[in-house]
């Protein structure tokens, strides 16, 4: 199958690798691919035989499936940009962590142009599972699309024939998952300042014995350092989802600010260089298996940071 990826970040690259390994033709479009900072991305595409397209029109030409894997704020604009170029009955899979309202708006553009829009909610972190990550599908075309995507090696189930249901499931889950990341970073860093981190972790271990809090803390710090900007965008969509339910999204808004603040610190180089392409997998990215190293870097710096919009 000829498959187009709109977005060539971490998710796009993982899917490209798996789809190419299965013998599919893959074309990718991402503005970063054409920039000077996109050298590492272009090298990756070349290494895996992924064709790079300069425009949405070139990317989707002849494609049977278009996968949108961009940041949450770009989900609707990308659908609008692809719509005039998409062929009749071409599948459009929206993987983005956007609100139910955003998914419905994106679907209008694609379906009005004759494409077949399917929303997807990715229900856990992609890297460990890769293309086999658990995924919920939604919309009137979801049932027909499920066997198509699963034949490609994915692990998708239909959540509903109504748009927004799969997204709502993802967004409500993110209040908890991304919120826990933010709470652990805030709690552990403050505890480090007061010298009580060992006592705090021991207490958490007693209350929640099924979680290795040392290991989980290190994982949360690194994931947010690497992906805080994308997570902050997702949490703003989560806040919209909660607001649309008639609730004030205090938790989602606070989590978005914490994630954005961590991204600001990472962009400023506090946690080490992320490479010319901003690639967290770059060899010079200063990862640490001990969350205390990152907390110590934060202390004395974070109060100077104003999260970017």
DSSP string, 5-61: EE--SHHHHHHHHHHHHTT-EEEEE-GGGGSGGGHHHHHHHHHTTPEE-SSHHHHHT
Cross-strand pairs, 93: 67, 118
Q: What is the pLDDT of residue 287?
A: 55
Mean of all residue pLDDT scores within the chain:
91
Question: Which band of pLDDT confidence, cut at 50, 70 and 90, is reported for residue 205?
Answer: very high
CATH class of 2-162: alpha beta
Give me the mean pLDDT over the 149-161 stretch: 96
Note the helical H segments in the chain: 10-21, 39-47, 56-60, 75-82, 100-112, 126-129, 142-151, 165-194, 197-207, 213-244, 250-267, 291-298
pLDDT of 277 reads 37
> Please, where in the chain does CATH 3.40.50.720 lie?
2-162
The residue ranking higher by pLDDT, 284 or 309, is 309
What average pLDDT score do residues 227-239 get? 93
Give pLDDT, residue 38: 85
Q: What is the pTM of this model?
A: 0.84
Site of tokens 């187009």: 4
What is the C-alpha separation between 85 and 60, in angstroms, rounded?
A: 7
Specify which residues 174 forms β-bridges with.
Answer: none
d(CA 248, CA 4): 38
**Res. 283: pLDDT tops 60:** no
Q: pLDDT tens across 238-258, in order? A: 999 999 999 999 999 999 999
| Residue 280 confidence class, pLDDT cut points 50, 70, 90 | very low
Q: Provide the 3-class DSSP secondary structure of residue 141.
A: coil
301 pLDDT above the threshold of 80:
no
Q: What is the pLDDT of residue 281?
A: 42
227 or 143, higher pLDDT: 143
Within the chain, which residue ranges are assigned CATH 1.10.1040.10? Answer: 167-304
CATH topology assigned to domain 167-304 = 1.10.1040
């Amino acid at each position: 199958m000829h498959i187009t990826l709109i977005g060539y970040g971490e998710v796009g690259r993982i899917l490209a690798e798996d789809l190419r390994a299965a013998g599919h033709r893959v074309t990718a479009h991402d503005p970063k691919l054409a920039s000077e900072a996109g050298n590492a991305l272009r090298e990756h595409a070349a290494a895996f035989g992924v064709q790079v397209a300069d425009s949405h029109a070139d990317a989707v030409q002849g494609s049977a499936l278009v996968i949108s894997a961009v940041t949450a704020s770009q989900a609707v604009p990308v659908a609008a940009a692809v719509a005039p170029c998409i062929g009749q009955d071409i599948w459009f899979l929206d993987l983005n962590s956007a609100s139910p309202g955003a998914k419905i708006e994106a679907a209008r553009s694609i379906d009005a142009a004759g494409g077949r829009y399917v929303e997807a909610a990715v229900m856990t972190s992609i890297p460990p599972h890769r293309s086999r990550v658990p995924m919920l599908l939604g919309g009137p075309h979801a049932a027909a699309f499920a066997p198509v995507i699963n034949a490609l090696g994915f692990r998708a189930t239909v959540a509903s024939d109504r748009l927004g249901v799969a997204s709502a499931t993802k967004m409500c889950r993110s209040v908890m998952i991304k919120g826990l990341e933010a709470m652990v970073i805030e709690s552990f860093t403050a505890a480090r300042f007061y010298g009580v981190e060992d006592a705090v972790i021991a207490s958490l271990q007693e209350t929640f014995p099924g979680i290795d809090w040392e290991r989980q803390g290190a994982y949360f710090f690194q994931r947010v350092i690497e992906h805080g900007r994308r997570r902050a965008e997702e949490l703003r969509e989560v806040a919209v989802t909660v607001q649309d339910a008639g609730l004030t999204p205090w938790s989602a808004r606070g989590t978005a600010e914490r994630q954005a603040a961590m991204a600001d610190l990472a962009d400023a180089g506090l946690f080490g260089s992320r490479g010319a392409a901003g690639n967290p997998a770059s060899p010079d990215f200063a990862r640490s298996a001990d969350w205390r190293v990152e907390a110590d870097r934060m202390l004395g710096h974070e109060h100077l940071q104003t999260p970017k919009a």
